[in-house]
Amino acid sequence: MSIESLVVSDTQQWLDKAVIGLNLCPFAKAVVAKQQVRMVVCMDSEPEQVLHMLQQEMQLLVDTDAAVLDTTLLIAPKLLPDFLAFNEFLFDCESVLQSMELEGVLQIADFHPRYQFAGTQSDDISNFTNRAPYPTLHLLREQSIDKAVAAFPDASLIYERNVEVLEALGRQGWEALGFKQA
C-alpha cells in the first residue's frame, strides 16, 4: 500500500468511526453516502506547496457541480506537526481564499492530530472533536453549510454535544475506535 493510500485509508476510518460514527458532524453522513467528498493527499512538507495545492483544490471545488463534489479534504501528513505552527498557517490559507475572492463561497475548517482549543490543556478530551490522523484542511461550500444549518436548527449546540459525547467515551473509548492520542 502506498503512503498516499494509507493516509486516505486512515482518514476514511476517522471519518467513518469518529466524524460519522460518533455523529461529530451531523452533516457529514449525507455527503459521504452520496460520494460527494474528495480526499486528496499533499505529501509536501513546505507550506507554500500546500498553499498551491489548496488553491488548485478550491478552484476545482468551485468549478464542479455540488451534486458531484460537495466538499474536499486536503490531507497533508508532513505539514507542520506542531499545532501552533499549523494554526498560524491557517492565516495564509485564509489569504488564499480572499485572493481568489471566494469568501462567502467557500470556508476552510481545520483538523490536526494535536488540535487544541484556546483555554484547554493539550490532553483535554474536548480537543479530540477536531483531531484527525493528519493535518487536514476541509473545504466546504458556504451554500451547503447554509442548507445543512437550516435543516439542523440547533447547529450552535453541536460542539457542546460533541464534548459530552467525547467525555462519555473517554480516552480509552477513543483509542478503542483505533485512534492514537497525539
**Assigned domain for 182 exists:** no
pLDDT at residue 182 above 70? Answer: no
Q: Compute the average pLDDT of residues 9-38.
A: 95
132-141 pLDDT tens trace? 999 999 999 9
145-161 pLDDT tens trace? 888 888 877 877 888 99
**Assigned domain for 109 exists:** yes
pTM value? 0.95
**Assigned domain for 115 exists:** yes
Q: Compute the average pLDDT of residues 44-69.
A: 98
**Assigned domain for 159 exists:** yes
Q: What per-residue confidence (pLDDT) applies to 181?
A: 65
Please check whether residue 131 is in contact with residue 83, taking contact to mean a CB–CB distance below 8 angstroms.
no
Which range marks the domain in which residue 45 is found? 3-176
Q: What per-residue confidence (pLDDT) applies to 154?
A: 80
69-80 pLDDT tens trace? 999 999 999 999
Number of domains in the chain: 1
Q: What per-residue confidence (pLDDT) applies to 67?
A: 96
Counting other chains too, the contacts that 59-64 makes at CB distance below 8 Å and 24 or more residues apart are: 59/100, 61/106, 61/139, 61/141, 62/102, 62/105, 62/106
Q: What per-residue confidence (pLDDT) applies to 167?
A: 94
Inter-CA distances, 124 with 37, 42, 116, Å: 29, 29, 8
**Assigned domain for 68 exists:** yes
pLDDT at residue 111 above 90? Answer: yes
Looking from the CA of 172 toward its CB, the CA atoms found within 13 Å total 1
Q: What per-residue confidence (pLDDT) applies to 94?
A: 98
Determine the straight-line distance between the first and last CA of the chain, rounded to whole angstroms. Answer: 24
